[in-house]
């Protein structure tokens, strides 16, 4: 099986998929699209992700877009090293955690929304910063409760799940935006635990082949 992840080094949605694939020991190549230059809007990515957003996963000529859908496909296709718990209620809780990040926090703060605020609507930078902090804090406050109730070292239980695949990149983003995280000790403890695991470390943006240390 030939697998290519179409993404960008600093895309947190791509970061999620890298973590999931690494945790499962899956080999994949990468194809990069520089979001700063708008490369994701071209036909090269469009044939894999019609919305023109990374990531997309190409597998033997077929393509999947949307990071949560990709992670679910990885879970079904590679059931060893599971990223979802065994029982239905626990799986639902993990999916709720992941969706809090992927559906309620990240979309409001991703590059195209921030560009629209800055360039299309003329929102000043201090207001953009407050916007970013508002949605990260709201989502993290909910996650802090969920992890306190269900976590035992990770977001849920004693092993990494899809929720951890989503949390670590979102904390990375929060730090990039200089968001104060002192109100979220449970989240920070999970992030620290994950940082000790090679699969998470290898997925970090700075370790990707297209990383250049520049902005965005």
* 51 vs 213, higher pLDDT: 51
What is the structure's pLDDT at 40? 81
DSSP string of the chain, one letter each residue: --EEEEE-TT-HHHHHHHHHHHHTT---EEEE--GGGTGGGSHHHHTT-TT--S-EEEETTEEEESHHHHHHHHHHH--SS-SS-SSHHHHHHHHHHHHIIIIIIHHHHSHHHHHIIIIIS---HHHHHHHHHHHHHHHHHHHHHHHHHHBSSSSSBTS--HHHHHHHHHHHHHHHTT---TT-HHHHHHHHHHHTSHHHHHHSGGGSTT--S---
Q: How far apart are the first and last CA of the chain?
A: 33
User: Across the chain, what does the average pLDDT equal?
Assistant: 94
Structural domains of the chain ordered from first start:
3-80 (3.40.30.10), 88-200 (1.20.1050.10)
Q: What confidence category does residue 45 fall into, taking pLDDT thresholds of 50, 70 and 90?
A: confident
**Using 50, 70 and 90 to split pLDDT, how confident is the model at 33?**
confident
The dihedral built from the CA positions of residue 194, 211, 50 and 61, taken in this order, carries a sign that is negative
Confidence tier at 214 by pLDDT (50, 70, 90):
low
Whether pLDDT at 215 is above 80: no
- Separation of alpha carbons 128 and 117, rounded Å: 7
Task: Assess whether pLDDT exceeds 70 at residue 112.
Answer: yes
Q: Which of the four pLDDT bands, split at 50, 70 and 90, describes residue 34?
A: confident
Residue 157 has pLDDT above 90, yes or no: yes
Structure tokens at 65: 């877009």
Give me the mean pLDDT over the 159-163 stretch: 98
Residue 31's pLDDT band (cuts 50, 70, 90):
very high
What confidence tier does 41 reach under pLDDT thresholds 50, 70, 90?
A: confident
Q: What is the mean pLDDT of residues 123-145?
A: 97
Q: What is the pTM of this model?
A: 0.94
Confidence of residue 216 (pLDDT cuts 50, 70, 90): low
Identify the sign of the CA torsion 108, 58, 21, 195: negative
70-91 tens-digit pLDDT:
999 999 999 999 999 999 999 9
């Amino acid at each position: 099986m030939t697998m290519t992840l179409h993404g960008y080094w600093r895309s947190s949605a791509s970061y999620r998929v890298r973590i999931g694939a690494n945790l499962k020991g899956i080999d994949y190549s990468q194809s990069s699209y520089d979001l700063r230059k708008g490369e994701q809007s071209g036909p090269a990515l469009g044939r894999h992700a019609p919305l023109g957003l990374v990531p997309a996963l190409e597998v033997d000529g077929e393509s999947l877009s949307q990071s949560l859908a990709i992670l679910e496909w990885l879970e079904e296709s590679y059931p060893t090293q599971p990223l979802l718990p065994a029982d239905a209620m626990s799986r639902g809780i993990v999916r709720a955690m992941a969706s809090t990040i992927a559906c309620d926090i990240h979309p409001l703060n991703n590059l195209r929304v921030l560009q629209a605020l800055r360039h299309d609507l003329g929102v000043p930078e201090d207001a953009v910063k407050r916007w970013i902090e508002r949605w990260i804090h709201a989502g993290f406050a909910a996650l802090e409760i969920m992890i306190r109730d269900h976590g035992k070292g990770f977001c849920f239980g004693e092993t990494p799940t899809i929720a951890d695949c989503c949390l670590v990149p979102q904390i990375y983003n929060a730090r990039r935006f200089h968001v104060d995280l002192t109100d979220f000790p449970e989240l920070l403890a999970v992030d620290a635990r994950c940082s000790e695991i090679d699969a998470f470390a290898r997925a970090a943006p700075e370790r990707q082949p297209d990383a250049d240390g520049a902005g965005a």
